[in-house]
Amino acid sequence: MKKIKTRNKNILCILLSTISGYILTLEVFSEVIPVYIGTTGFVYPLVLYMTLFATIILFYIIFQILFNKHLSKSMVICLFIMYFILLTAILFFRHTFERYLIINPFVGVLDVISDSEMLKQSLLNIIIFVPMGYLFRNKKMKETFITALLLSLGIETIQYFFKLGFFDTFDCILYILGILLGRYIFKKIDIEKLLRFDNEEPEDSGSSYK
């Protein structure tokens, strides 16, 4: 009976995650992705389908947490692989073939204040780096900051030299904020304590069973 109940929950998780992922991708990501990579060529549909797949997996994990309080480590690893592939596509497969150098971060601040679209894109630049904070949840703040700084400078340098857009110090700041915010969130949540991964043995509940 317990196996049947678990199977039914898993089927429900799959159905709900598929529906939720499809709606989120259709209503949100199909509008957001063109901001970064445009809609021409094969990259846009490829990234869109990958986003759909990753979103379904994300919702599956969320529903597994809600229903069963456990999930597979392999599922988490799969999600992060998809995340890094999508992040790479968004950052390095843009439709522009120009390069700009913006050293003064206040230029970006003024753009955000005066342009709602720039505000939206800046918030997205923070959000897309939040998941990376999970990798730094057990690292010291100084180590996390230095790594995030080097990573953001590396990303902007690659974009500049390969004519993929701007080298913008304001974007560097946004990437760093996203990683630091993610580190703070995952440090507070402490997923390992909240969840029982499938390949971990359940803890001994007490001596009453002995």
Q: What is the pLDDT of residue 129?
A: 94
Minimal CA–CA distance to 125: which of 32, 6, 200?
Answer: 32
For tokens 């990234």, the residue is 47
**pTM higher than 0.75:** no
Query: Within 13 Å, how many C-alpha atoms sit on residue 89's CB side?
Result: 23
- Structure token pair of residue 141: 């703040």
Q: What is the pLDDT of residue 165?
A: 74
- 158 contact partners, CB below 8 Å, separation of at least 6: 92, 164
Task: Please answer whether residues 133 and 179 qualify as being in contact, where contact means their C-beta atoms are separated by less than 8 angstroms.
Answer: yes
Q: What is the pLDDT of residue 179?
A: 96
Write out pLDDT tens, residues 87-103.
887 888 766 667 778 89
**Cβ atoms within 10 Å of 95's Cβ, excluding its own:** 15
User: How high is the mean pLDDT in each 10-residue block of the chain (210 residues)?
Assistant: 69 89 86 77 82 84 75 74 83 72 90 88 90 91 96 92 85 96 86 58 43
- Structure token pair of residue 7: 């199977």
| Bridge partner list, 196 | 70
